[in-house]
Structure 1
Amino acid sequence: MRVLLLGGTAEARALAAELTPDVEVISSLAGRVPNPALPVGEVRVGGFGGVDGLRQWLREQRVTAVVDATHPFAARITANAARACREERLPHVVLARPAWPPGEAIQVGSDVEAAEVVARSGLRRVFLTTGRSGSAAFADVDAWFLIRAVTPPDDVELPPRHQLLLSRGPYHYDDERRLLSDNGIDALVTKNSGGDMTRDKVDAAADLGIPVIMVQRPPLPPDVRVVATVDDAAAWVRAL
């Protein structure tokens, strides 16, 4: 049995460790983050060349099942994997960590909508944590941004007034609260990534009375099987 594990998340690394050595796992990383944390076992880095390229790769590698444990906002590879597995008649499951309860957050459908909310609200100092590609939507917004990202947003137009904070989670509540307070932040813009690694910024903002603008997740492809935990994904693989 050979499983393609579409990864890049903590859940994917945990699943690879859980299944190895009983199952032959090939973990696939997109390759956008330098020096990523690597899972145990075989690892490939880079894209597949769309649905057709993925289908060919699955056949050549004699893959018998696919687990999609990518980031909740990795919509393209999730859609491509669902279609490729359907066309190849391969067992396929999505490991999707539960979303955060929105609470009193302002929910929006995209980075562009989040930027419109910031502009309309007259917010002046914004903590922006939507990733390097999401920063471009705020390029024309008249506010100061503290932009946190793992790597610099190369080839992306940034707001004229900003400060880059390059770091990689997990983050902790006391540090997040101090960061918000020390920088006079009056709004947090984040994606609803779910999980524990970056949740504390949302809790700290709520406790400080700072508005949270939360980008909702893209919908999953129709008719895909979804599990919420690493244990559930491992059980699904073993049941095959």
Structure 2
Amino acid sequence: MRVLVFAGTTEGRQLVERYAGAPGIELAASCATEYGASLLPTAENVSALFARLDVEGMVGLMQGCACDAPGGPFDAVVDCTHPYAAEATANIREASSIAGVPYMRVERRDVPSDSQIAVPSAEAAAEAVNRLNRIGGNVLLTTGSKDLGVYARHIRGFAERVWARVLPVGESLSAARAAGLPASHVIAVQGPFSQQLNEAILREYDIAAMVTKSAGVHGGFQEKVDAARSCGVACVVVSRPRSEGGVTLAEVFRRIDGMIEGEEAR
């Protein structure tokens, strides 16, 4: 049995870890970056791929036409991409339909909180931060590097007031530089983080408002919210894109186990 995993998240790594070295299954884990692929466990039945694929490229991969993943077509596709990677999920879903390969989307459980200001986009988050900081104050962005340009256009005094926490990879550092952030305002480190570390960062940089995403249990969201509450920092949360439904990682495990047992029974 062959399973294609679109990884790059904690759930993707957990799925690969569960079946690495297991009999009856071959895994190919596709990540958008080499850095994401480097975090995956290694085993004889695991191949790690890194490339940014369009729908056509995904279809070829699923049908076993990609030289990076030889061995024929896949029996199942598991989408473990980030909850905010709406475009990637839409492409994976479409490619699975075209290729005729069963598709499963891992849905990360959300963490409700009453101590946040929910906004629908990066632009709205930037405006919310401006409203919260009319009297001044520093801002911590923990939403990644993709929307730094948006925040740069909307937050007054961006280069002086804003610190950004991003992944320690060249692409993120380049995005921060392009947005106009000085190197001293870039915190490049791999998460998720404990509440204590979040608190230390908020206090070190005298943060008045933090912008984050509702990344769920595995994304360290609750630790960020709790740290903001403890430090008296306003927490602005960019809402998740609307989801078309998914299943828990435990349910994906159950389905894959059932497929393996079915193959063995033949």
TM-score by length of structure 2 reads: 0.81
Q: Which residue number in structure 1 is paired with residue 220 of structure 2?
A: 198
Segments of 5+ residues of structure 1 without an aligned counterpart are none
Other structure's SS at 2:220 match: coil
Q: What is the aligned-residue RMSD (CA, Å)?
A: 2.1
Moved over 6 A (4+): none
Q: Which residue number in structure 2 is paired with residue 146 of structure 1?
A: 163
Report deviation, 1:32: 6.1
Report deviation, 1:163: 0.7
Which of 116, 125, 135 is residue 148 of structure 2 equivalent to?
A: 135
8 A Cα contact 2:8 2:37, kept in partner: no
How many residue pairs end up in the alignment?
A: 235
Q: Which residue number in structure 2 is paired with residue 158 of structure 1?
A: 179
| Partner Cα separation in structure 2 for residue 119 and residue 98 of structure 1 | 30
The range that moved more, 159-168 or 145-154, is: 159-168
| Partner Cα separation in structure 2 for residue 29 and residue 198 of structure 1 | 21
The range that moved more, 158-167 or 124-133, is: 158-167
Note the 1:16-55 alignment, pairs <5 A. 16-20=16-20, 21-22=22-23, 23-31=25-33, 33=35, 36-40=38-42, 41-48=46-53, 50-55=54-59
Q: Which residue number in structure 1 is paired with residue 93 of structure 2?
A: 82
Report deviation, 1:115: 0.7
Report deviation, 1:170: 2.9
| Partner Cα separation in structure 2 for residue 34 and residue 19 of structure 1 | 18
Segments of 5+ residues of structure 2 without an aligned counterpart are 65-71, 260-266
Percent identity of paired positions between Structure 1 and Structure 2? 28
| Partner Cα separation in structure 1 for residue 90 and residue 113 of structure 2 | 25
Relative contact order: is structure 1 or structure 2 higher (C-alpha 8 Å, sep ≥ 6)? 1
Does residue 171 of the first structure (1) align with residue 173 of the second (2)? no
TM-score by length of structure 1 reads: 0.89
Report deviation, 1:172: 1.5
Report deviation, 1:19: 2.2
Q: Which residue number in structure 1 is paired with residue 121 of structure 2?
A: 110
Report deviation, 1:87: 2.5
Q: Which residue number in structure 1 is paired with residue 262 of structure 2?
A: none
Comparing both structures, which one devotes a greater share of its residues to helix?
Answer: 2
| Partner Cα separation in structure 1 for residue 138 and residue 94 of structure 2 | 42
| Partner Cα separation in structure 1 for residue 139 and residue 84 of structure 2 | 21
| Partner Cα separation in structure 1 for residue 179 and residue 143 of structure 2 | 13
8 A Cα contact 1:19 1:234, kept in partner: no
